[in-house]
Amino acid sequence: MLAAPLVILSMQEVVQLIHARTLAPRVLTTSAILVASLILAGCSSNPAPAPGASNDAGTPVSGGTLVYASGDAEPSCLDPHVGGNYPQALASSQYLETLYTKDEQGELIPWLASDSTVSEDGLTRTVKIREGIKFTDGTALDAQAVIANFKHLLDPATASSTGYLALGKIKDMKAADSSTLELTLSTPDNSLLESFSMPWVAIQSPEALKRTQEENCVAPVGTGPFKVESWKKQDSVNLVRNADYVRPVANPEHEGPAYLEGITWRFIPEAATRYAALQAGEVQIIDNAQPDTIAAAVKNDTIKHLDAPRPGASNRIELNSSKAPFDDQRVREAFIHAVDVNAGVESLFFNTTKRSYSPLSSVEPLGYSDESLFGFDPAKAAELLDAAGWNERDADGYRTKDGKRLSLTFPVSTSQSVPAEQSLFEQLQATAKESGFEIKINLLDLSSWYGALAEHNYNLVSAPYTKVGPSVLSILFHSASTVPAPSGYFANLSQVKNPELDTLLETAGATKDEAERKDLYAKAQKLVLEGYYLLPLYDQQNHFLYSSKTQGIGATTAVASPVFFDTWLSK
């Protein structure tokens, strides 16, 4: 928001300048316009890139503080068990670690756990906990500590959403010995280890969890390479190096603690300001980089780009099938053929992402994609709408049926969508109009947006959902997900309730046969795509831009949030 008041203020100053009585009016009018032009032009010119930046990695040096600028909303709690959103995952990946994680090849590997086995009936899972690891408050990691974390997640008082859902099948847990955890499940769950790899299920010190939620939110205690030193709200979180850090899985090239002395985790919501701060060298890495700045950055050698698509669902628009007009499949199909997504994705995203035709992210190996369903075809849309009875047009050119306009309400959360995405929605609105659909885009803050969803006051909605593995499909499309969770949120926004789909998802989530799992999830995805419950747009975006003086960036968690253990600052 910094750039914004600058422009407004300059206008105000110009008007006030004109009002000043000491100077001749004619001179003033001209100079006022000149001043305004200069101020505006000044805003648009970039600071010169810093000279002498080198791309040589060289030998890592220890020391220095990395300044990270986040465009996401500042978390209200630094403990990702509480609620469980992506901004929390980004920050907590530096100070908390998970039982499992994914390696560079995308393979699931044990991290704080050392191994895991499951019984023949799939109802008992045994997890071996790695020994010799300590939390930063000195407490030792053992099976009891993990149980304390799971209990914390499942306790309604914690108000966990993401982690709570991920552990939903755990019925009972006990420590067979100090390093062996035995979990009894209500139904077999083949996604449990994937769930264990998510920051929302990260393991914290059981001693620290005994504090009040308020205290734990301010300074969660984990086993990670950094620890939370202080949190100045509305400004930054101060992280310092964990000097005693031992990487659970040894890396011969980097032993001991992190290279960085600390990380300053700042919040700069305004995209242009964030990018300007990076260009000026005020910060070393930014997230939520805008497509046009990524395109500009790859052309110069002082700024580098990390593209780390998130796992889970693709970015998509859900069509609310529980109410008119989308309770009619023909109208859903017509809508999908009435909007031109490709033209928008190509022009607005500057080749930083590709069009998606799948409910799942491109990094999900079990994703099923069908491009043939999603062609832009206004003639077909017209045919379907005529057949569905929407065959009259009103004075504004919108289709009507029984005197009612074919109108769609589309609440958009301004904090969950980048400007390019909002522009894409405006483009869909313009192309849909030609087929006779009226789309009402309501830009809302997050709480009003949740409110609109809770009241079922939407026909179209776009909500990101990040989760490791294809079990996200159950969260998004199982009929049980139409029932609100303790947090009040229900993830099945398309409101699809289909017993056949429920059975497919349940069987897919329980089978021990990997081939069968893949086949069943493919069938489930085929069913929701062919039922036109969603319009896939593009991959979930996760772009970082960083100064080329910052070395050793690229390692990420299973949810693609960067970890700065290997990061160092070259002179």
Partner 1 sequence: MSSHLQQLTPGDPVLSPHAARSTGSGTGVWKHRLKLVFPVLVLGFFTLAAIAPSWLAPFDPLAINPADSFSPPGPGHLLGTDESGRDIYSRIIYGARPSLLIGAAATAIGVGLALILGTLAGFGGRWLDAGVGRILEVLFALPGLLLALVFIALAGPGVGTTIIAVGLTTAPGYARLIRGQLLTLRHSPMVEAATVLGRSRAKILTTHLLPNALTPIAVLGTLGLGQAVVWAASLSFLGLGAPPPAPEWGAMLSAGRTYLSLAWWMTFFPGLAIVLVAAAATVLSRVLNQGEKS
414, 415, 482, 487: residue in contact with partner 1 (rule CB under 8 A): 414
Nearer residue to partner 1 within complex by CB, 191 or 429: 429
Euclidean distance between CA atoms 312 and 314, whole angstroms = 7
Q: Is the bond preceding residue 25 a cis peptide, omega within 30 degrees?
A: no
User: Does residue 290 bind partner 1 (CB under 8 A)?
Assistant: yes
**Whose structure tokens read 């910094």?**
2
292 binds partner 1 (CB under 8 A): yes
Of 252, 200, 168, 223, nearest to 89 (Cα)? 200
50: contact with partner 1 by CB under 8 A: no
Candidate segments 81-89, 113-121, 290-298, 491-499, binder of partner 1 by CB under 8 A: 290-298
Q: Which residue has the tokens 């990076």?
A: 278
Q: Parallel, antiparallel, or unpaired: how do β-strands 285-286 and 407-413 relate?
A: unpaired
Structure tokens at 451: 């409110």
Q: CB-wise, 297 or 493, nearer to partner 1?
A: 297
By CB under 8 A, tell whether 16 contacts partner 1.
Answer: yes
Q: In whole angstroms, what is the distance from residue 279 CA to residue 261 CA?
A: 23
CB of 157 to partner 1, least distance (A): 32
Q: Which of 53, 147, 217, 272 binds partner 1 (CB under 8 A)?
A: 272
Rounded CA separation 465/472 (Å): 8
Q: Is 300 in the site for partner 1 (CB under 8 A)?
A: no
Residue closer to partner 1, measured from CB, 37 or 230: 37
Per rule CB under 8 A, count of chain residues that contact partner 1: 49
Contacts of 99 (CB under 8 A, 6+ apart): 110, 111, 112, 113, 127, 129, 146, 193, 196, 197, 201, 203
Candidate segments 25-33, 244-252, 461-469, 555-563, binder of partner 1 by CB under 8 A: 25-33
> Would you say 435 or 498 has its CB closer to partner 1?
435
Tell me the per-residue interface mask from 417 to 446 with partner 1, x by CB under 8 A, - otherwise. --xx-xx--xx-xxx---------xxx---
CA dihedral 267, 363, 473, 328 (to 10 degrees): 90
Q: Rounded to 5 degrees, what are φ and ψ at 519?
A: -65, -45
A 10 A CB-CB count for 479 gives 15
Q: Residue 317 has what DSSP assignment?
A: E
d(Cα 81, Cα 478) in Å, to the nearest integer?
23
User: Which one-letter amino acid corresponds to residue 228?
Assistant: V
Told to check if 11 binds partner 1 by CB under 8 A, we report: yes
Min CB(340)–partner 1 separation in Å: 8
Decide: is 8 part of the binding site for partner 1 (CB under 8 A): yes
The smaller minimum CB distance to partner 1, of residues 26 and 571, is found at 26
Decide whether 50 or 108 has the Cβ nearer to partner 1: 50
Bridge partner residues of 568 (DSSP): 551
CA distances in angstroms from 502 to 244, 318, 360, 406, 467, listed in the order given: 48, 18, 17, 31, 19
218 versus 443: smaller Cβ distance to partner 1 = 443
From the CB of 188, what's the least distance to partner 1, in Å? 47
* Smallest separation (angstroms) from partner 1 to the CB of 39: 9
Question: Taking the mean position of all CA atoms in its chain, how far away is CA 492?
Answer: 17
- Taken in order 62, 567, 220, 134, the sign of the CA dihedral is negative
The stretch among 14-22, 92-100, 483-491, 502-510 that binds partner 1 (CB under 8 A) is 14-22
Of the candidate residues 37, 119, 251, 447, the single one contacting partner 1 (CB under 8 A): 37
> Given the rule CB under 8 A, which of 18-26, 160-168, 473-481, 487-495 is the region that contacts partner 1?
18-26
**Tokens describing residue 445:** 């803050």
Q: What is the rounded distance in angstroms from the CA atom of residue 569 to the CA atom of residue 5?
A: 33
For residue 447, which amino acid is it?
A: S
CB of 369 to partner 1, least distance (A): 23
User: Could you say which residues in the range 313-372 bind partner 1, by CB under 8 A?
Assistant: 340, 343-344, 346-348
State which of residues 293, 320, 492, 495 lies at the interface with partner 1 (CB under 8 A). 293
In the complex, which residues of this chain contact partner 1 (CB under 8 A)?
3-4, 7-8, 11-12, 14-16, 18-19, 25-26, 29, 32-33, 36-37, 40-41, 43-44, 46, 271-272, 275, 290, 292-293, 296, 340, 343-344, 346-348, 414, 419-420, 422-423, 426-427, 429-431, 441-443
